[in-house]
Amino acid sequence: MDDRVAGALDLLPGYAAQHVVLSMSALALGVAISLPLAVVASRRPRLRFAALAVASLVQTIPGLALLALFYPLLLALSALTTRAFGFGVPALGFLPSLLALTIYSMLPILRNGVTALLGVDPAYIEAADGVGMTPRQRLFRVELPLAAPVIMAGIRTAAVWTIGMATLSTAVGQTSLGNFIFSGLQTENWIYVLTGCIAVVILALFVDQVLGLIEAGAVRRDGRRIAIGFAALLLGTAVAAAALLRGGGADYVIGAKNFSEQYILAGLMAERIERGGHTATSKEGLGSAVIFRALAGNDIDAYVDYSGTLWTNVMERRDVPPRDVMLAELTRFMRERYGVTVLGALGFENAYALAMRSGRAAELGVRTIADLTPLAPRLTLGSDLEFLSRPEWTALKQAYGLAFGQEKSFNPTFMYRAIEDGQVDVISAFSSDGRLAGGALVVLEDVKHAIPSYDAVILLAPKRANDEVLRRALAPLIGAISVETMRQANFMLDRDTDKASLREAVQFLAGKLNLPPP
């Protein structure tokens, strides 16, 4: 079997279990909130209007944004509870995902519930009153049973939405089938993406069918179908939860942002920890700001960040000191402000840089960015989607007086195509990008040090500051990885054809470093 397929299947049970527990919890919570709300709203026009308006509004918020919004919200809440009760709530992972998915699942249940209850034939309401039912008896014996098919249809819709949207919870640190999709997309590993998609579709179809069985049971008053349906749901969730309880609780959690290099480094760190006789998992696909908070909050134990990113985003500094001064100040700041340990630099930088085709650079006599200044008006700059709006570009423009004749933005893959076939002359690049390996492209030196250095550094969570296992496993990596080695490892995942699996890239890097076992 293809190694990538094997790798995907290896991860599938764990991801699926997390996905099932998350989406089923959210659905159950959504039903528990929305159904009573629908009942009350069906009797009070003003509340009905308000509840439906809010639920519809929530629905228009993109799913990813909704998940992201819960993160600062829970951070604030955590600060509050810490002050009041001495403990915080987790702002990452399960809790924000659960809350966002629950809210997201509410609209179809609420809307169908209200519609169904309002749609019950008034003749049956009068009959229920006429035979002497109390309002509560009327609700449970007549209105809800008659509304059940439409309500169940709403729950089915909510279930499919929730299972689909749960893939996005990967971005806030909750493992799900979305891990396949996020990491597959970043490393262009379509087998991963496909595995994630297929698994989600199968899960959604299965749950939909089971809910359909319950719906049919409700319509035909067939208790057996209802029982089988609920049993299937409960059993599935229980099996998933049991799998998590048994397999969960790795000794160490390594974080990774959402690009190849991060996946490889997290994999390498996890492998080092495991070789030392401990278990490690990784939380992948975390955003830049999220991942640092997660570390500072002890949600993850270690990850690799870049000095320049921390310098500007966390320390909010705008000056650009020399590399070693920056590293020293960063280390001190992290320890004093956050209790975070900067274990050390890995030895390479992943900085924003400008690059040209080697031939073209030689032809124009360009070696440094300063050499570009007089030529720029006749040249075209290609950049990724982000670069032109980043402070690094502003700093470069100012320092060197760069004014390109034309500026074009591409997604990274197309940007590299564009420079290969000469559509653009200069591109923005990351210095450790695998596509710079091999010598076809040359990185232009930032002689004026206009942009800060982006040394890859290992950060340890406050509670791991004196953790001997972690230090023994990770310390040998300090200063061990050259930019050329990192580029080669990255290229294994980023090249357009003959992609390697993540495991292969990790093995390659580990082999290259030839480190002693911890």
Encoded one letter per residue, x for contact with other proteins by CB under 8 A and - for no contact, window 134-163 reads: xxxx---xx--xx-----------------
Q: Which is nearer to other proteins, 130 or 439 (CB)?
A: 130
Q: Which is nearer to other proteins, 10 or 129 (CB)?
A: 129
| Phi, psi at 136, each rounded to 5° | -70, -45
> At a CB cut-off of 8 Å and minimum separation 6, what does 1 contact?
none
Least Å from the CB of residue 108 to other proteins? 23
Least Å from the CB of residue 227 to other proteins? 18
Q: Based on the shown chain and the rule CB under 8 A, indicate whether residue 130 belongs to the binding site for other proteins.
A: yes
Count Cα atoms within 13 angstroms, Cβ side, for 320.
15
Q: Based on the shown chain and the rule CB under 8 A, indicate whether residue 399 belongs to the binding site for other proteins.
A: no
Q: Based on the shown chain and the rule CB under 8 A, indicate whether residue 128 belongs to the binding site for other proteins.
A: yes
Q: What are the tokens at 395?
A: 């700093």
Interface size with other proteins, residues (CB under 8 A): 19
Applying CB under 8 A, which of residues 53, 57, 127, 235 lies at the interface with other proteins? Answer: 127
Q: Based on the shown chain and the rule CB under 8 A, indicate whether residue 46 belongs to the binding site for other proteins.
A: no
Which string of b and e fits 138-157 if b means at least 16 CB within 10 Å?
bbeebbbebbbebbbbbbbb
Q: Based on the shown chain and the rule CB under 8 A, indicate whether residue 132 belongs to the binding site for other proteins.
A: yes
Applying CB under 8 A, which of residues 133, 388, 469, 480 lies at the interface with other proteins? Answer: 133
Could you tell me which stretch among 122-130, 184-192, 257-265, 408-416 binds other proteins (CB under 8 A)?
Answer: 122-130
Q: In what order do the strands lie in the sheet with 252-257?
A: 280-286, 252-257, 302-306, 455-460, 341-349
Q: What are the tokens at 219?
A: 């319509």
Q: Which is nearer to other proteins, 106 or 152 (CB)?
A: 152
Least Å from the CB of residue 44 to other proteins? 12
Q: Based on the shown chain and the rule CB under 8 A, indicate whether residue 77 belongs to the binding site for other proteins.
A: no
Q: Which is nearer to other proteins, 120 or 330 (CB)?
A: 120
Could you tell me which stretch among 129-137, 251-259, 296-304, 469-477 binds other proteins (CB under 8 A)?
Answer: 129-137
Applying CB under 8 A, which of residues 1, 84, 123, 325 lies at the interface with other proteins? Answer: 123
> At a CB cut-off of 8 Å and minimum separation 6, what does 53 contact?
none
Least Å from the CB of residue 287 to other proteins? 47
190-220 and 3-43 helices, crossing angle to 10°: 40
Q: Which is nearer to other proteins, 124 or 338 (CB)?
A: 124
Q: Which is nearer to other proteins, 145 or 321 (CB)?
A: 145
Applying CB under 8 A, which of residues 126, 386, 484, 496 lies at the interface with other proteins? Answer: 126
Contact 200, 194 (CB under 8 A): no
Least Å from the CB of residue 36 to other proteins? 12
Q: Based on the shown chain and the rule CB under 8 A, indicate whether residue 394 belongs to the binding site for other proteins.
A: no
Q: Which is nearer to other proteins, 135 or 422 (CB)?
A: 135
Give the whole-angstrom CA distance, residue 83 versus residue 100. Answer: 25
List Cβ<8 Å contacts ≥24 apart for 234-242.
236/20, 236/24, 236/206, 237/20, 237/21, 237/24, 239/17, 240/16, 240/17, 240/18, 240/20, 240/21, 240/24, 241/17, 241/21
Q: Based on the shown chain and the rule CB under 8 A, indicate whether residue 129 belongs to the binding site for other proteins.
A: yes
Q: Based on the shown chain and the rule CB under 8 A, indicate whether residue 205 belongs to the binding site for other proteins.
A: no
Least Å from the CB of residue 142 to other proteins? 6
Applying CB under 8 A, which of residues 9, 47, 57, 131 lies at the interface with other proteins? Answer: 131
Helix (H, G, I), strand (E, B), or coil: what is residue 511? helix
C-alpha of 241 from chain center: 22
List Cβ<8 Å contacts ≥24 apart for 398-402.
398/450, 399/448, 399/450, 400/369, 400/370, 400/372, 400/373, 400/448, 400/450, 401/373, 402/369, 402/372, 402/373, 402/376
Q: Which is nearer to other proteins, 35 or 142 (CB)?
A: 142
Q: In what order do the strands lie in the sheet with 406-409?
A: 406-409, 380-383, 426-430, 352-357, 441-444
Q: Rule CB under 8 A: which of 218-237 touch other proteins?
A: 221
Q: Which residues bind other proteins (CB under 8 A)?
A: 123-124, 126-137, 141-142, 145-146, 221
